[in-house]
Structure 1
Amino acid sequence: MQKMSNIYESAANTLGIFSSPCLTKVELRVACKSISDRDALSKPDPCVILKMQSHGQWFEVDRTEVIRTCINPIFSKLFTVDFYFEEVQRLRFEVHDISSNHNGLKDADFLGGMECTLGQVGTMAFLLIAFWVNL
């Protein structure tokens, strides 16, 4: 089985998504806080799916592990994404409740998500580092 990052790079090269050379690789760590508990009998079993947009279509890059019965998960999985200078790289983070008897995402409950660009994530990280250094 290929690593998801290799699949991502292969798809990007095949589709001709990026015209500029890869500047660097970026590692993203994900955590959620106060996930809504839609199931009255149990807490959610969250998993985060990272998607990127290409030519108006979203494709899955990678996903985190499932953390059982948790509303404040801190995922150990790191997302590794190539950063391309002067390219707008749209990201979508989707949180799904993966039940123990699931058949993939079709049986999972969508709990929420957010969209941003990789540049926005980098800017936020820079601001957080600058704030921490100035403390």
Structure 2
Amino acid sequence: LISVAIVRIWQVTPFAVLIFLARLLSLPVEPYEAARVDGASKWETFRYLTLPFLYKYIILVVLFLSVDAMREFGTIYTMTRGGPGRATEVSSMYAYNLGFKILKMGQTYAMTHVILLLTVGIAVFILSFWKRLED
């Protein structure tokens, strides 16, 4: 399980870093100059300027990575095939085993729709934070 987590972190970190780097490079300079003139410390500058500028992008990265985690199959199947035992079996792998090994297509169909509805629910929940930031 730890090896799968390490591989997933290795896979998704560049995506998050690129999103944050793009936003950090496009931040306006004037508020930082004003904070420096007013005597703000580096921590205060980060907390009151940088972090609010990054809120939307943090939510965006969380949304993308949450949806990506819900559909994760390939890495886990390639590394562990769900084992040892069922230690790394995720919902998509369970649906795969149910459909193609046990041949219960009706249950597989229902399971994949539950996964879809859960993913959409998570996305709507995360996007509600985005909407709150715009208001």
TM range, smaller chain: under 0.3
The TM-score normalised by the length of structure 1 is: 0.25
Structure showing the higher helix proportion among its residues: 2
Structure showing the higher strand proportion among its residues: 1
* Bigger CA radius of gyration: 2
